């Protein structure tokens, strides 16, 4: 018996085929990884199972019974639960209310039973070592805590089929370990799990099998032991990726001469720390460290998002008091939070592309189609709303928006968060072309490997490692390795106090 069987599912949005032939079957107690690039249809498949999107064609069977999932409510009744990176939490409600949102316990059949909400919520949070969050509103939680609450909310619903859509990318290692234990417990109880992730290590340690998707099709399903990492990546992108990732291993130079940007005594207000910061022309500056140690604050402060800041750009004094001033000085900023700080979701691709160049800088005459093609965006028409694109393609449009302004310096705050290997490589190539033109890039990433790859692609590069709002280590040349970044990120003893 299969817990879930999808046969030849097809879905198109307008003229874009999101899914053209998706078929898979999962047994009870199986943890199945879904691996695919952006636009490969993973999210659409998850949304169809969740009842948010209706397929055009195809058959879905749950425990050997054919179902057509009509709505999220129907999907939940069938025992399907989704935890997604677009969190389903309500920021104005408390953690425990959110946990029980889908099945609120009542007293005498009418009133909300607050005591029971708290009790059941605490039980689940105890298992995840998070009972101290009970009573707080979700708005007060850090990102990783919100993701754990999202996961706990799924557990509480006792799913028969659980879809985990990329929540692990925002979690710390210990939390991923907890998620893994919980998934194993569900597995013992016969729950079928679809695990969508880009992290190979997690897939290998958690999943039993893997289904690879490409361009809206399920390409293959294999046991997890049957293929190694490079083989999976090759199947996913449809070409051999081993040489792409490791091709630039030459030595890395550091640039001398007058700096492009100087920030004397740059102050990070959240940490109360101060340091000098400089960027050379044509340089790649990677900012590394554990999450939340001031990397994001650094680039946001430079872009005038934390109040007024004094900079020297090409030797000229510059007061940046708002992002508008920063744009006027030909600086650019890309956020990893597409939803909040990147896309104007209901506007078209061309409007999204022109947002800064036309509306802020007042320059017209942007050939949207040509730019979109050049950035490798998969699209039907420049007039389609940007939300019809996959996450990776949306981010390419956002990056394109800034590239057309010819920035002297591009600040990026984890811009490839949650996008797949292929789109990530495309983004890296876009940035490299910018550096080749003489611009500089300051790049924050939570993925150390990504920083190392980028550093080796750029003609000159430095990696700054941050801890508690300070730069604790500068890596150059052959010292730029993931091992060095990790060892500098986790300080020992009182070295930095």
Partner 1 sequence: MNILKWTTFPVLVLVIVMAVINSVLTPGFLTMSSLSGFLGSYAPLVCAAVGSAVVLFGGGIDISLGSIVCLVNVVFITMQGYGWNVLTSAALAVLVGVGVGALNGFVIGFLRVNPLLTTFSTSSVAAGVALWIMPTPGGQASMDFVTWYNGNWLGIPTPVYFIAVVWLLWLFLSKTPIGIWLYALGCDERKAFASAISVAWLQFFTYVFAALATGIGAIALTGSVGSGDPLVGLPISLNAIAACVIGGISLMGGRGDSFGAILGALFLGLVSTTVLAAHVPPFYQDLVSGVIVLLGVIGSVSLSRKPKLVS
Q: Which stretch binds partner 1 (CB under 8 A): 98-106, 126-134, 212-220, 468-476?
A: 98-106
Q: Hey, how many other C-beta atoms are within 10 angstroms of the C-beta on 372?
A: 21
Q: Does 73 bind partner 1 (CB under 8 A)?
A: yes
Per DSSP, the three-state class of 121 is helix
Q: Does 72 bind partner 1 (CB under 8 A)?
A: yes
Q: Does 104 bind partner 1 (CB under 8 A)?
A: yes
Q: Which stretch binds partner 1 (CB under 8 A): 104-112, 211-219, 454-462, 489-497?
A: 104-112
Q: Would strands 80-84 and 106-107 be described as parallel, antiparallel, or unpaired?
A: unpaired
Give one word for 97, left, alpha or beta, with left for phi > 0 and alpha for psi -120 to 50: alpha
Q: Binding partner 1 by CB under 8 A: which of 11, 76, 408, 473?
A: 76
C-alpha distances (whole Å) from 20 to each of 49, 59, 218 are 16, 13, 9
Q: Binding partner 1 by CB under 8 A: which of 36, 37, 39, 50?
A: 50
Q: Which is nearer to partner 1, 262 or 305 (CB)?
A: 305
Q: Does 25 bind partner 1 (CB under 8 A)?
A: no
Q: Does 302 bind partner 1 (CB under 8 A)?
A: no
Minimum distance from residue 135 beta carbon to partner 1 (Å): 11
Minimum distance from residue 72 beta carbon to partner 1 (Å): 5
Q: Does 92 bind partner 1 (CB under 8 A)?
A: yes
Q: Which is nearer to partner 1, 135 or 238 (CB)?
A: 135
Of residues 226, 161, 150, the one with CA closest to residue 191? 161
Q: Which is nearer to partner 1, 96 or 426 (CB)?
A: 96
Would you report the helix, strand and coil content of the chain in percent, each value rounded to 5?
Answer: 35, 25, 35
Q: Using an 8 Å Cβ cutoff, are 87 and 96 in contact?
A: no
Q: Binding partner 1 by CB under 8 A: which of 56, 66, 70, 106?
A: 106
Q: Which stretch binds partner 1 (CB under 8 A): 84-92, 215-223, 325-333, 405-413?
A: 84-92
Q: Binding partner 1 by CB under 8 A: which of 93, 180, 312, 470?
A: 93
Q: Does 52 bind partner 1 (CB under 8 A)?
A: yes
Minimum distance from residue 77 beta carbon to partner 1 (Å): 8
Phi, psi of 290 (to 5 degrees): -65, 155
Q: Does 54 bind partner 1 (CB under 8 A)?
A: no
- By CB under 8 A, the residues from 109 to 128 that bind partner 1 are 110-112
Q: Using an 8 Å Cβ cutoff, are 296 and 373 in contact?
A: no
3-state per-residue secondary structure call for 206-227 = HCCEEEEEECCEEEEEEECCCC
Q: Using an 8 Å Cβ cutoff, are 44 and 18 in contact?
A: yes
Q: Does 307 bind partner 1 (CB under 8 A)?
A: yes
DSSP assignment of 300-338: HHHTTBTB-EEEEETTEEEEE-SHHHHHHTTEEEEES-I
- By CB under 8 A, the residues from 332 to 371 that bind partner 1 are none
What b/e sequence results for 258-283 when a residue is b if at least 16 CB atoms lie within 10 Å of its CB, and e otherwise? ebbbbbeebbbeeeebebebbbbbbb
Minimum distance from residue 325 beta carbon to partner 1 (Å): 12
Q: Which residues bind partner 1 (CB under 8 A)?
A: 50, 52, 71-73, 75-76, 87-93, 97, 101-102, 104, 106, 110-112, 305-307, 322
């Amino acid at each position: 018996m299969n817990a879930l069987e999808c046969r030849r599912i097809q879905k198109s949005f307008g003229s874009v085929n999101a899914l053209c032939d998706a078929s898979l079957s999962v047994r009870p107690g199986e943890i199945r990884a879904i691996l695919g690039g952006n636009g490969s249809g993973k999210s659409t498949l998850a949304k169809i199972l969740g009842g948010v999107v209706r397929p055009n064609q195809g058959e879905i069977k749950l425990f050997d019974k054919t179902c057509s999932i009509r709505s999220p409510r129907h999907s939940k009744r069938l025992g399907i639960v989704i935890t997604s990176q677009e969190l389903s939490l309500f920021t104005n409600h408390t953690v425990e209310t959110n946990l029980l949102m889908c099945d609120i316990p009542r007293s005498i059949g009418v009133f909300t039973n607050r005591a029971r909400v708290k009790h059941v919520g605490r039980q689940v949070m105890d298992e995840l070592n998070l009972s101290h969050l009970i009573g707080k509103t979700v708005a007060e939680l850090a990102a990783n805590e919100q993701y754990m609450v999202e996961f706990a909310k799924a557990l509480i619903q006792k799913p028969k089929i659980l879809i985990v859509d990329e929540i692990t990318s925002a979690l710390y290692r210990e939390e991923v370990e907890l998620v893994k234990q919980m998934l194993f417990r569900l597995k013992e109880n016969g729950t079928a799990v679809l695990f969508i992730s880009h992290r190979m290590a997690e897939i290998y340690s958690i999943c039993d099998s893997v289904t690879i998707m490409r361009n809206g099709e399920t390409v293959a399903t294999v046991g997890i032991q049957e293929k190694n990492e490079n083989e999976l990546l090759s199947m996913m992108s449809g070409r051999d990726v081993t040489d792409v990732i490791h091709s630039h291993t030459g030595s890395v130079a550091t640039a001398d001469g007058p700096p492009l940007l100087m920030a004397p005594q740059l102050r990070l207000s959240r940490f109360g720390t101060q340091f000098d910061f400089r960027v050379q022309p044509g340089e790649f500056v990677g900012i590394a460290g554990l999450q939340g140690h001031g990397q994001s604050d650094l680039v946001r402060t430079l872009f005038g998002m934390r109040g007024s800041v004094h900079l020297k750009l090409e030797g000229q004094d510059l007061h940046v008091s708002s992002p508008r001033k920063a744009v006027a000085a030909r600086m650019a900023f890309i956020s990893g939070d597409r939803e909040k700080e990147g896309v104007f979701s209901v506007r078209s691709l061309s409007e999204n592309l022109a947002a800064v160049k036309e509306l802020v800088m007042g320059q017209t005459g942007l050939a949207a189609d040509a730019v979109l093609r050049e950035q490798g965006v998969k699209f039907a028409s420049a007039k389609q709303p940007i939300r019809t694109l996959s996450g990776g393609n949306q981010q390419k449009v956002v990056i394109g928006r800034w590239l057309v302004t010819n920035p002297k310096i591009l600040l990026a705050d984890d811009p490839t968060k949650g996008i797949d290997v292929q789109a990530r490589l495309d983004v890296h190539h876009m940035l490299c072309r910018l550096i080749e033109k003489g611009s500089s890039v300051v790049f924050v990433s939570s993925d150390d490997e990504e920083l190392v790859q980028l550093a080796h692609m750029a003609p000159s590069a430095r990696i700054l490692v941050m801890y508690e709002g300070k730069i604790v280590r500068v890596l150059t040349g052959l010292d730029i390795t993931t091992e060095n970044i990790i060892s500098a990120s986790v300080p020992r003893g009182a070295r930095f106090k």
